Structure 1
Amino acid sequence: MKARGRLGGIQWFNTWGPERRETVSCALSLLLVCVLSACAFVLPTSLLLFLVGINGLLVIHGLLCRGNIWGVVKLALIQLIITLGLYLMLYGIGSLIDGSVVVVRIVLATIPSWWLCITVAPERIGEVLSSFLPKKWAFVVAASLSLLPYMLDEIREIYQIQCLRGARITPKALRNPKNWSELVYCVLFPALILLLKLSHQMAVAAHSRHFGQHPRPTHWHSPRENDE
């Protein structure tokens, strides 16, 4: 009887179309990411090694899906330098281990989100979120995720152009805190202006397509995803 029930469940799952399976897979991935990110902050230090192993599997899977882990590595290095510096100034050299644990928790909370962005299309995330969030909120989250890779490339180009202009924002120059303000108005302000421009363009595009007027909006499923 139990074997027949399991077989029936498998057959029922196989009757789903590719679009339904993509949505269910995205929902499970989103739930996994939320659980792992929360565990990174609430688990005791003695259990972090187990969480490191799970995140290691996510990193391997993300790399196999042609993800770029370099951004997470740079974030970890920057966070390590800042956090350890603050702990050293405020609490002394004996607190460096505690500061390192804090950085490890932040990285462990970041890796699942990186993996989700690599393995799941933004429109799938928007479809799942729209099942329990207002449609416009889900659209904003999905649009933000889809813009993230483009914005990172644009920020990188802005940084390189400003360095060619002679701005004192190279890693060596940023060792001097006096140059930090130059990083703000040479890179962060132009990136913010670009983000506002892109947000306005996306809002105009959504309004032109009458987004929000239908009570049950549809979600795009790429034929390329179905073929894969």
Structure 2
Amino acid sequence: MWAKRRQPLQSKFSSVNDASGLWLAALAMLMVTVLSSAAFLAPQSALLYLALANLLLLVHGLLCRGNIGGILRYIVLQLGFTLLLYVVIHGGQQLHQGAWAVARLLLALLPGWWLTVVIKPQWIGEVLAKIMPVKWAFVVAASINLLPYMTSELRDIYQLQLLRGARIAPRQLLNPLNWYELAYCVIFPLFVQLLKLAQQTATAARSRHFGSHPQPTHWRDPRSHQ
């Protein structure tokens, strides 16, 4: 999952106009698609070069004040779960394969994190609207824009459930018997919150007559015209 996005690309490229921004967004989305796909499709011998490319994106994202903490916590938790499953299934003889699987997952997530940090959501939505139906583009762009909110909600729900005494602390999650409590106390409430948010977003879109025109307008940042 992605961490909270503090400032988009405008902090570094505030003078970029909308036309140039759309080209930047399109190229960035294409690059992210290629890098994320390569994380799963590339041979293990090529992962080092892929890691170097992701390192550049990581540095750039951090310079744009992106927060990588959420991804790191997720990867550590995923690594613990994966290694535990490999121990249970294979008896600890193939732990290195589990570690490589988690490494590929990290390499697949980093480009998407970088995209949400540096590219304006309205640019993403406008680019997607040129290659897919407008309603689909709206859903995808809204989902990307909500990733920081999802991360914040997940963190808040997790902390509240810990205070209530739920057995979901990192050490307690080493016991697979507590995974059900994690799903019941954290994942399910988050899912309910997202359903409510989706309904509110749909209501807001309908109230603005979204979908009534085949070529809707897009938000323009006033600062890009100054």
- TM-score range (shorter-chain normalised) is 0.7 to 0.9
1:149 maps to a residue whose letter is P
Deviation at 1:33, TM superposition (A): 0.2
Cα deviation digits, residues 128-184 of structure 1 (max 9, x gap): 111111110000011111111112112211221222222222223323333222222
Matching residue of 2:117: 118
Q: Percent identity?
A: 53
Runs of 4+ in 1 over 6 A off after TM superposition: none
Residue pairs, 1:142-157, within 5 angstroms: 142-157=141-156
Judged with a 3 Å threshold, the aligned counterparts in structure 2 of structure 1 residues 97 and 182 are, in CA distance, closer, same or farther, namely closer
Question: 1:216: which partner in 2?
Answer: 215
Aligned counterpart, 2:3: none
Query: Deviation string for 1:38-84 (max 9, x for gaps)?
Result: 11122111111111100000000000011111111122212222222
Q: Where does residue 130 of structure 1 map in the other structure? A: 129
Matches of 1:96 and 1:68, distance apart in 2: 29
- 1:103-138: CA deviation from partner (whole Å, max 9, x where unpaired): 211111111001001111222111111111111000
Q: CA RMSD in A?
A: 1.8
Cross-structure match for 2:77: 78
1:179–1:82 distance in 2 versus 1, CA, 3 Å = closer
Aligned residues: 211
Residue identity matched to 1:98: Q
Measure the CA separation in 1 of the matches of 2:181 and 2:105.
27
The one-letter amino acid paired with 1:88 is V
Alpha-carbon distance between aligned partners in 1 of 2:91 and 2:162, rounded to the nearest angstrom = 36
* Equivalent residue letter for 2:207: S
Q: 1:27 to 1:207 in 2, by over 3 A?
A: same
Return the TM-score normalized by structure 1: 0.86
Asked if 1:57 corresponds to 2:56, the answer is: yes
The equivalent residue for 1:5 is none
| Deviates most, 137-146 or 70-79 | 70-79
Once the two structures are superposed, the pairs formed by residues 1-228 of structure 1 within 5 Å of their partners are: 18-224=17-223, 226=224
> Structure 1: which 5+ residue stretches go unaligned?
1-16
Partner Cα distance (2:85, 2:164) in 1: 32
- Stretches of structure 2 that go unaligned for 5 or more consecutive residues are 1-15
How far 1:217 moved relative to its partner?
A: 0.8
